[in-house]
Chains A and B, each alone.
Chain A
Amino acid sequence: MREQDARERACNFREVSLGYSKEEALREAERCLQCPDEPCVRGCPVNIDIPAFIDKITAKNFRGAYDVITDTNLLPAVCGRVCPQESQCEGVCTVGDTLEPVAIGRLERFVGDMAIAEGWINRPYVEPSGFRVAIVGSGPAGMACAADMAKAGCEVVVYEAFHEPGGVLKYGIPDFRLPNAVVDVEIEKLRALGVRFECNTLVGRLFTVEDLLDTMEYDAVFVGTGAGYPSFMGIPGESLNGVLSANELLTRCNLMRARDFPQFDTPLQAGTRVAVIGAGNTAMDALRVSLRLGAQAVHCIYRRGKAEAPARAEELHHAAEEGVEFHWLTNPVAILGDGENRVRGLRCQRMELGEPDASGRRRPVAVEGSDFEFECDSVVFAIGTNANPILGQTSDLALDPRGYIATDAALATSLFGVWAGGDIVTGAATVIEAMGAGRKAARGMKAWLGLRDTDSVYAERPLERMLGLPPGEHGHARLRAG
């Protein structure tokens, strides 16, 4: 896939990966073996029928490919860009046993982008079921749940605390990886399904989860508020000016457009020598955003080795290409101040890997007497998040010992009629896992409300595909003439 040149792109916020051309997509689709046991489908958290959509691409039926993907995944343009395919579909691809696996993610993105360019939308005709569903949080979990419930004929309202919808897709993932414009298109598709977004609404404080059911007359509620309470390490110097969480850096830059200060009012004191602690996807985003904001040197500090880094392979690769310096097996022990409350450096120690810990990764152990210092003027923590406390403070939702919302296997919470999914249940995970959770919760809600699944019935498909089938077979969906 074509990419912007590393040196050039490190100075702008335009997308890094330029996407497949039609010819490239056709060539890549040819590589799929269409193997009968379909390991890729099982490797996908939402079980997209991958061989089927690739087959459609090979047949140059791009609209057909889009229809196949959107049977199970509402947001191909998003997921094709941000899924960790190497540990999902592509990781189990049969071709990958001997060669490079089929680039499923890039093909998915190709189809998603074509749908945006062509204005395709698969809008089912839905017969109103009379049920009302409230979704708390407009990130990937909430969007996926909203789509499924809207397709099932429910009146769906999504509440968002920020001033615009999209959650982590907007505030977290930077434009060079997932342009906010792509997210907006996907949100428009939800609106076309009849989903309503209510921004500037902090559920828990403006009204409670219980109010949604009791006084606001919703029949079911889905909570997908994300994890969002960033962790710090508790080392000396964390309150110095120049120390911030990756969430703060990314939100200021992406959602609030601090990168365009002072045309936009939100400031961001970008460092010239930046140290980012952590090596997950958020850390990569923080590193690469810092470069684009003009930092001269950007360091990634991680206490384990490269093999243990949780970031997608492509993000690590892109970051290295753009000039990020990696310091593996390095643990910060103190942030050093300049005497005027600003950061002047970081003291670290070397680590070595010991026995595996609870996560199955080898536990890093400090090497005695290996302390060293290096110069930096900004330190960004990207070491994960804790559970956001607001709904715990304001509702009777049962929480697990770590403060996340407790659910059963079907994602039902302790409150009758309330489901939850995504990072607020599992702790920080991926976009596609959150979407999978949103859909799983929707299945539970539909069963509970007595609704039949209407996922795969679209009005705008070729008519002959639907002819001969009694309308009753389609649950609450009806074929719209014309």
Chain B
Amino acid sequence: MPLEQPTVFPIVARDDFTDVTFMLEIRHPAMARAARAGQFVIVMDSEHGERIPLTLADFDVDRGTITLVIQAVGKTTREMQQKCVVGSHLFAVTGPMGIPSRIGDAKKVVCVGGGLGVAPAFPQARAHARNGAFVIGVIGYRNRQLMFWEDRFRSVCDEVRVCTDDGSAGIRGMVTEGLRHAIAAHPDIDEVIAIGPPIMMKACAEVTRPLGIRTVVSLNPVMVDGTGMCGGCRVKIGDGIKFACVDGPDFDAHRVDFDDLMARLGRFRPSEQAALHKWAETCRMHDAAVPEDRC
């Protein structure tokens, strides 16, 4: 039977992990069926919205849903944090985009997730586990209060190492500490997958580079269309230029120019700050006009 594409994208579940991090489960049966670990979607929260890329944190064929984990940092994501309640819907959700992660013949894999990166690292850990690999999860947060999805990692990983910057849970230190511990305990690691802020992925790449362990990172540069059309997401890989949206988002960590990535991630910062500022202003005015619980 022909698949009907939804024209609205209803939010069927929401979970707030912290006061800035939240999870949305969105009904989209066709995408739930098509999605593979490592792919991403582009979301618009309203008709006037911008297109933001978000890596899939989960997808469930039985429930007919996809799951996104979002950090409210800019105007759009903070607006989503306010507006996206169960029963509301998003204006546009397109995907799955990008080349799925290669779930190859690796027998022992480390999946490193840092901060928000814990979410997209989860489907990769699960895919490797289902493929029969021994999976070591290394998940890192700033502190215990910001932790989420440790249970999910434990449900698919053979071993999980939690790291917190302040030592309030697990190993004290960054995920690179956890990664070093894992490598020390397991000399036969075939592959490392690292997802998180660029600086974290860069640090992980430097841990594995001298050891020659294949390391894959998932890049999330600024995008517009997500279909290869604008070139805004171009990244330096070795000597060449690749578009993260259609040539990635997974790349060989040892060939990624992370400094270039980080410099380009900041290219709209002044506009982003202006938008956030204006939005916050509007909200304060709104606050004054209506009871607080409405905003």
Contact = CB atoms under 8 A, between A and B. Distances in A.
Contacts of B260: 239
Contacts of B50: 256, 264-267
A251 B229 contact: yes
Contacts of A251: 224-225, 229-230
A248 B231 contact: yes
A216 B243 CA distance: 30
A389 B247 contact: yes
Nearest to A260: B48
B241 A163 contact: no
A289 to B, nearest CB: 14
Contact of B93 (A200, A228, A230, A341): A200
Interface in B195-252: 224-232, 234, 236, 241, 243, 246-247
A247 B264 contact: no
Nearest to B243: A229
B150 interface: no
B266 interface: yes
Contact of A162 (B5, B98, B225): B225
A207 interface: yes
B99 interface: yes
Interface stretch (B12-20, B114-122, B135-143, B271-279): B271-279
Contacts of B161: none
Interface in B97-133: 97-99
B231 A202 contact: no
B230 A248 contact: yes
A341 B230 CA distance: 20
B37 to A, nearest CB: 14
A205 B30 contact: no
B254 interface: no
A217 B1 contact: yes
A267 B272 contact: yes
Nearest to A157: B2
Given A238-B241, A267-B50, A161 B2 contact: no
Interface string A244-270: 110110011000110001111111110
A388 interface: yes
B231 A161 contact: no
A261 B275 contact: yes
A370 interface: no
Given A239-B236, A269-B271, A229 B266 contact: no
Interface string A217-241: 1000000001011101010001101
Contact of A229 (B5, B96, B246): B246
Given A199-B92, A252-B224, A390-B246, A268 B271 contact: yes
Contact of B228 (A207, A265, A390): A390
B260 to A, nearest CB: 5
Contacts of B3: 207, 216
A99 B268 CA distance: 51
Contacts of A198: 5
A244 B223 CA distance: 12
B227 A202 contact: yes
A216 B2 contact: yes
A426 interface: no
A217 B264 CA distance: 44
B194 interface: no
Contacts of A268: 271
Contacts of B272: 267
B270 to A, nearest CB: 7
Which residue, of A200, A266, A393, has the highest number of chain B Cβ atoms within 10 A?
A: A200
Q: Size range of the interface on A?
A: 35 or more
B271 A247 contact: no
Which residue, of A171, A226, A232, A239, has the highest number of chain B Cβ atoms within 10 A?
A: A239
B269 to A, nearest CB: 9
Which residue, of A226, A232, A242, A247, has the highest number of chain B Cβ atoms within 10 A?
A: A247
A206 interface: yes
Contacts of A244: 230-232
B289 interface: no
Interface in B64-107: 75-76, 91-99
Nearest to A160: B94
A230 to B, nearest CB: 4
A239 B5 contact: no
Given A205-B39, A206-B96, A269 B268 contact: yes
A427 B32 CA distance: 34
Contact of A263 (B48, B92, B241): B48
Contacts of A229: 228-229, 231, 243, 246
Interface string A263-300: 11111110000000000000000000000000000000
Contacts of A230: 229-231
Which residue, of A241, A248, A264, has the highest number of chain B Cβ atoms within 10 A?
A: A248
B44 A163 contact: yes
B175 interface: no
A206 B95 contact: yes
Contacts of B267: 241-242, 269
Contact of B94 (A202, A247, A265): A202
B185 interface: no
A240 to B, nearest CB: 8
Contacts of A245: 230-232
Given A198-B5, A205-B34, A247-B231, A265 B75 contact: yes
Contacts of B263: 239, 241, 341
Contacts of A252: 224, 230
Nearest to B273: A267
A257 B227 contact: no
A158 to B, nearest CB: 11
A163 B34 contact: no
B31 interface: yes
Contacts of B39: 205
A248 B228 CA distance: 10
A201 interface: yes
B51 interface: yes
Contacts of B234: 232, 239
Interface in A128-181: 132, 161-163, 171
A241 B227 contact: no
Contacts of B91: 163
Closest 10 CB pairs of A and B: A267-B271, A248-B230, A241-B267, A228-B229, A265-B50, A163-B92, A245-B231, A266-B50, A341-B263, A230-B231
29 contacts: A161-B226, A161-B227, A162-B94, A162-B225, A163-B44, A163-B92, A200-B5, A202-B95, A202-B96, A205-B39, A216-B3, A228-B228, A229-B228, A229-B243, A232-B234, A232-B241, A245-B231, A251-B229, A256-B224, A257-B48, A262-B275, A262-B278, A265-B50, A265-B76, A265-B275, A267-B271, A268-B271, A269-B270, A269-B271
Given A251-B230, A265-B49, A266-B51, 10 more contacts: A161-B94, A163-B44, A171-B225, A200-B93, A202-B226, A205-B95, A205-B98, A232-B234, A234-B241, A390-B228
